[in-house]
Chains A and B, each alone.
Chain A
Amino acid sequence: MSFFRLFTILFALIVSFQPALASRIADTDLSSRIVALGAGGFDDLEKAIANLAASGDDRVPAVLDRLGNGELVVRKADGAVFFADKAGTDFRLTDPVTGSDAGLAPKATVEKVKVNNRIRRTIASAVGALTLISPDPAVRRAAAEAVMKSADAAAIPVLNQAIATETVADIRAMMMAARATALLASSASEADKVAAIAAIADLGSRDALGFLSGYTSTEGAVGDAARKAVAAIESRLMLWDIGQNLWYGLSLGSVLLLAAIGLAITFGVMGVINMAHGEMVMLGAYATFTVQEVIRTSWPGLFDYSLLIALPVAFLTAALAGILIERLVIRWLYGRPLETLLATWGVSLILQQTVRSIYGANNREVGNPSWMSGSFSVGDIQITWTRLWIILFAVAVFLALIAVLKRTRLGLEMRAVTQNRQMAAAVGIRTPLVDALTFGLGSGIAGLAGVALSQIDNVSPNLGRGYIIDSFMVVVFGGVGNLWGTLVGALTLGVANKVLEPYAGAVLGKIILLVAIILFIQKRPRGLFALKGRAVEA
Chain B
Amino acid sequence: MIISFLVDSLDRRGRIVVILLVVLALLVPAGNLLVPEGSAFHVSTYQLTLCGKYLTYALLALSVDLVWGYCGILSLGHGAFFALGGYAMGMYLMRQIGARGVYADPMLPDFMVFLNWKELPWFWQGFDMAWYAFLMVVLVPGVIALLFGWLSFRSRVTGVYLSIITQALTYALLLAFFRNDMGFGGNNGLTDFKDILGFPIQAPGTRAALFAASALMLALGFVVASAVVRSKLGKVLVAIRDAESRTRFIGYRVEHYKLFVWTLSAVMAGVAGALYVPQVGIINPSEFDPSASIEAVIWVAVGGRGTLIGPLIGAVAVNFGKTWFTGVLPEIWLYALGALFVVVTLFLPRGIVGLWDRVVSRRAKPAPDVDGSGRQAGEAA
Determine whether A and B are in direct contact in the complex, meaning some CB atoms lie less than 8 angstroms apart: yes
Report A's interface with B, CB cutoff 8 A: 271, 273, 329, 332-333, 335-343, 345-350, 352-354, 357, 465, 469, 472-473, 476, 507-508, 510-511, 514-515, 517-519, 521-523, 525, 538
Q: Which residue of B lies closest to A338 (CB)?
A: B74
Whether B159 sits at the interface, judged by CB under 8 Å, is: yes
B157 and A525 contacting across the interface, CB-CB below 8 Å: yes
| Nearest 9 CB-CB pairings of A with B | A346-B341, A349-B338, A350-B338, A353-B334, A514-B172, A335-B377, A343-B345, A522-B155, A346-B338
Report the bound CA distance from A319 to B152 in whole Å: 35
Q: Which residue of B lies closest to A512 (CB)?
A: B172
Q: A346-B339, A521-B165, A522-B154 are in contact. List 19 more A-B contacts (CB 8 A).
A: A335-B377, A335-B381, A337-B159, A341-B160, A342-B341, A345-B341, A346-B341, A350-B334, A350-B335, A353-B335, A465-B291, A469-B168, A507-B175, A508-B179, A514-B169, A514-B172, A514-B175, A515-B172, A525-B161
Residues of B within 8 A of A333 (CB): 345-346
A345 and B294 contacting across the interface, CB-CB below 8 Å: yes
* Among candidates A335, A349, A473, residue contacting B337 with C-beta atoms closer than 8 Å: A349
A332-B381 contact given A341-B160, A469-B168, A518-B169, CB 8 Å threshold: no
B172 and A511 contacting across the interface, CB-CB below 8 Å: yes
Quote the shortest CB–CB distance from A520 to chain B (angstroms): 10
Q: Which residue of B lies closest to A508 (CB)?
A: B179
A476 and B164 contacting across the interface, CB-CB below 8 Å: yes
- A342, A357, A525 — most chain B CB neighbours (10 Å): A342
A346-B337 contact given A337-B160, A476-B164, A517-B168, CB 8 Å threshold: yes
Whether B70 sits at the interface, judged by CB under 8 Å, is: no
Residues of A within 8 A of B227 (CB): none
Report the bound CA distance from A172 to B108 in whole Å: 60
A343 and B342 contacting across the interface, CB-CB below 8 Å: yes
Q: Which residue of B lies closest to A339 (CB)?
A: B345
Q: Which residue of A lies closest to B298 (CB)?
A: A342
> Quick one: which of B196-235 are within 8 Å of A by CB?
none
| CB<8 Å pairs between A and B, sample of 7 | A335-B375, A338-B159, A342-B298, A342-B341, A349-B337, A353-B338, A354-B335
B157 and A522 contacting across the interface, CB-CB below 8 Å: yes
Whether B281 sits at the interface, judged by CB under 8 Å, is: no
Residues of A within 8 A of B179 (CB): 507-508
A349 and B341 contacting across the interface, CB-CB below 8 Å: yes
Report the bound CA distance from A522 to B375 in whole Å: 27
Chain A contact residues: over half helix, strand or loop, or mixed?
helix
A469-B171 contact given A341-B160, A346-B340, A523-B155, CB 8 Å threshold: yes
Q: How many A-B residue pairs have CB under 8 A?
A: 127
Residues of B within 8 A of A508 (CB): 176, 179
- B151, B156, B341 — most chain A CB neighbours (10 Å): B341
* Among candidates A338, A353, A511, A522, residue contacting B175 with C-beta atoms closer than 8 Å: A511
- A329, A336, A345 — most chain B CB neighbours (10 Å): A345
Q: Which residue of B lies closest to A472 (CB)?
A: B164
A341 and B165 contacting across the interface, CB-CB below 8 Å: no
B290 and A469 contacting across the interface, CB-CB below 8 Å: yes
Whether B20 sits at the interface, judged by CB under 8 Å, is: no
Residues of A within 8 A of B380 (CB): 335-338
Residues of B within 8 A of A538 (CB): 378
Quote the shortest CB–CB distance from A270 to chain B (angstroms): 12
B151 and A271 contacting across the interface, CB-CB below 8 Å: no
Q: Which residue of B lies closest to A353 (CB)?
A: B334
> Quick one: which of B21-79 are within 8 Å of A by CB?
74, 76
Residues of A within 8 A of B301 (CB): 342
B155 and A332 contacting across the interface, CB-CB below 8 Å: no
Q: Which residue of B lies closest to A538 (CB)?
A: B378
Quote the shortest CB–CB distance from A39 to chain B (angstroms): 56
Residues of A within 8 A of B169 (CB): 514, 518
Residues of A within 8 A of B175 (CB): 507, 510-511, 514
Residues of A within 8 A of B335 (CB): 349-350, 353-354
Whether B188 sits at the interface, judged by CB under 8 Å, is: no
Report the bound CA distance from A151 to B175 in whole Å: 45
Whether B371 sits at the interface, judged by CB under 8 Å, is: no
> Quick one: which of B127-174 are within 8 Å of A by CB?
148, 151-152, 154-157, 159-161, 163-165, 167-169, 171-172
- A337, A341, A343, A350 — most chain B CB neighbours (10 Å): A341
Report the bound CA distance from A320 to B152 in whole Å: 37
Report the bound CA distance from A350 to B175 in whole Å: 26
Report the bound CA distance from A348 to B378 in whole Å: 28
Report the bound CA distance from A232 to B176 in whole Å: 37
